[in-house]
Structure formats: structure tokens, C-alpha cells
Chains A and B, each alone.
Chain A
Amino acid sequence: MTRPVRLGLFLTGMAALAATLAVAVGDLPGFGHYPGPYGTIIARTGVAARHGTDLVTTVNFDYRVFDTLGEEFILFTAVLGVALVLRRRRGEERTSEEPPEEHHFPGSSSALGAIGLALVGPVLVLGAWVVTHGHLTPGGGFQGGVVLAAAILIVFLAGEYVAMKRVAPHAALELAEASGAAGLALVGLGGLIFAGVFFKNFISLGSPGAILSAGTIPIGNLAVGIEVAGAFLMLWTEFSDQALVVRSR
């Protein structure tokens, strides 16, 4: 296919897309006008029905937690796929199980290391807070789990790659990912066993705004937080292993 033909095809396609897009945009509801009834109903009754003050989390971990279970396993499977593709193959060798010296980025300095290591604690606390307060304030298992993983990643960004592997060994990450993923499924199974419906909120709801409230929602958040933290750290470790440790023979 020559260049003018390709260009012609592209322009025809773009013109068709632009035309249909213009028609579709014309039919959109006005800016800030939400036509569906569902959001309004949830906003009016959600807190009274489930005792969680962050309705986004209430929707994600109660009303449509079945979808969340699916999303969680998408992440689980994706990271599993990365681990499978980047496994140790024939013709590859690790420079050594532990590199003799700490890896240092070009341009890294002791100041960068100090600032990075000083940040680890506060970010860890922030992540734990976001996970455990998901049902009260914006946040939850997914967001908090990523923040938790980022806290450990800061150790790596500070130039202490070996230290990061020691803080978060591969076996522990696999365990966190698997047990977190299983945890949310078990919450659903609990609903089936104790209330007769898969994922029914079967624990006492408590009073809205309390840290122990909203029934199974904070438990699901905790499970997902652990899974997401493990999954993202495993992903980053696999990638950095490839770049720093694995050499083709």
C-alpha cells in the first residue's frame, strides 16, 4: 500500500469518525446534567442503607462488588501474565542472586537517597490510612494499595534496589497478591454462607462515620488493598529485575 493510498484511507476514516462524533455530541445531555435515575437514588439512600459515608466505595464494594471482584482478578491475571512472560528463560542468566553493590542511578546522590528514605514512612502511613478509611472518605483498597506499593517503590527510587528486594521479597509479594485476591472472594462466600446471597453485606453495619462500620465494605477494601499493593510491587520488581539483574548469555 502506497503512502497516498494510506493517507486517503486515513482521511476517509477520520472524516467518518468526525461526522458520527458530531452527531453523537449533539445528542448528549447538557454539561453537568445527569439523566440516569440510579445515581440520584444511591445519593439519597446509600448512606442510610449501608452506613458507609463514601458512596463511591459503597457502590464499588457493596452494590456492584461482583464487578469489583472481576476487576480484581483482571489485575491478578495481568500481573500473573507479566510474571510468566518475564520468567527466567534458557540463555539468560542473573548477574548474581544479589548484585554485589547497591545499584546507583546516574545522577543519584546521598541527598536523593535521604529524602527518599525519609518519605517511606509517611507514604506507608498514608497508604494504610487510605485503605482503612475507604468507606468513610475518598479512597479505598485500590487507591490505598497503589499508595502502599509506591511507598516501597520509593526505596528503589532512592537507589537502594537490594534493600527494596529485602523489604519486599518475591515470595511475600506473591502471597500478598494471592491472599488479597482470595480475601474478596471469601467475603462474597461469607455472604452466601451467612446470609444466603453471594456478596450480601452480612456483618453488622455499625454507625455511619465510625471506623468499624458499613459491614463487609472495609474488609473487602483491606483485601483489595493487600492484593493491589502486592500486584503492583510484583509488576515493578519483574520489570526492574529485567533491566538490572537479568543478562542474556
Chain B
Amino acid sequence: MTALQGGALALVAVGAPLVVLAREPTRQALCAGVFGTALAILFFIFQAADVALSQIVISAVGLPLMILLAWAKIREDEADE
């Protein structure tokens, strides 16, 4: 294992608990985005460029956006009641 591979693995190992530990949904969505980007770097370093490419867009844009929009809707419904 090269230092680069070890570093990418460590980044993912540190990132995953951070997503769980961020309890506030907005912050958690952003943490999930950053964690997903770390995963994309991991895939790229392990020569899975095809997977890394889709991982970047899904995790950095797609998933956080859906969480944020769902969260905005929930908050608005709570404010209406």
C-alpha cells in the first residue's frame, strides 16, 4: 500500500464518524457531501476512475441537495402548524 492509498483510506475513516457526529441536519448534509468527495478521491487513487466520476456528482451535489430540500420542506410544514 502506498502512502497516497493509506492517506485516502484514513481520510474516509475520519470522515465517516464526522457525518454521524454532526447532529444538525443542514450541517450533516454538508458533511455527507465532503465525506462523499473523500470517497471519490479514494476510488480515484485505487484506479476506479469510472466510479469516482459518478461519486463526485452524486455525493457532492445530488445527495446533499435532496437532504436540504427535504429538510426545508419539513421545517416549513412545522412552521405552518
Residues in chain A within 8 A of chain B (CB atoms): 31-32, 54, 56-57, 130, 138-140, 142-143, 146-147, 149-150, 153, 232, 235-236, 239-240, 242-243, 248
Contact = CB atoms under 8 A, between A and B. Distances in A.
Contacts of A149: 57
B53 A239 contact: no
Contacts, number: 50
Contacts of B1: 31-32
Contacts of B69: 236, 239-240, 242-243
Interface residues of B, number: 18
Interface of B: 1, 49-50, 53-54, 57-58, 61-62, 65-66, 69-70, 72-73, 76-77, 80
Contacts of A140: 50
Interface of B is mostly: helix
Given A31-B1, A140-B50, A248-B80, A146 B62 contact: yes
A243 B72 contact: yes
A56 B48 CA distance: 9
Given A57-B50, A130-B53, A153 B80 contact: no
B49 A138 contact: yes
Nearest to B75: A243
B65 A142 contact: no
A29 B39 CA distance: 23
Contact of B57 (A54, A146, A248): A146
